[in-house]
Structure 1
Amino acid sequence: MLEFMDPMLFWATLALQLVGLVSVVLARLPRRCPLQCACFRTLFFGCLIGLAVATMVAIEAQSGSWAWCGTTFSVMAVGATLDLRSSMVVTGF
């Protein structure tokens, strides 16, 4: 496993995964300030792209960390599209 041979790469991808998961929560929180909303969404998309690249690099390097990066990428993608608001009741056409 290459992530144990290069601890810097292992800890960097772990930190990217944790920041990515936190950015999902921050991107989904309701805010009043448009600048704060834009910053959190930019952080989210940056982490999403970073995890996609890390997954591809880990697959190319035949490292076992590709599964963790890919799983975090998937959780971020689903978390960003998950609608947590209450559903609207439609009374008719």
Structure 2
Amino acid sequence: MPRSPRRGKMPDHAGDDIALDREWGATLLAYFARFPAERGGVLVGKRSAGRVEITAAVFPPQQIATPVRCSFDTAVVEGVNDTLKAVEETRIGPYAPT
């Protein structure tokens, strides 16, 4: 199982196991292959008992994109996170819209 990275000064939970559903992982990789360009994204999930369960990936619209700077509309991330909190169990599988 992959582990979250430990870089610099990190909280005590850095290095926890990361749970990523195999089908959802394949969907995410297919999305990356479909649009081979650099883009920023955020993984959304839950942390409990030394494990991180990833439930969504959000790629917010870029506001600025230059070779030395990029900026994103992060309100999208907050909206998705709020929606996921309202859902008891979220499963993103091979039929997730891309």
TM-score (norm: length of structure 1)? 0.27
Query: Which entry has the higher C-alpha Rg, 1 or 2?
Result: 1
Which structure shows the higher helix fraction? 1
Name the structure, 1 or 2, with higher relative contact order (CA <8 Å, separation 6+): 1
TM-score (norm 2): 0.26
Higher percent of residues as strand: 2
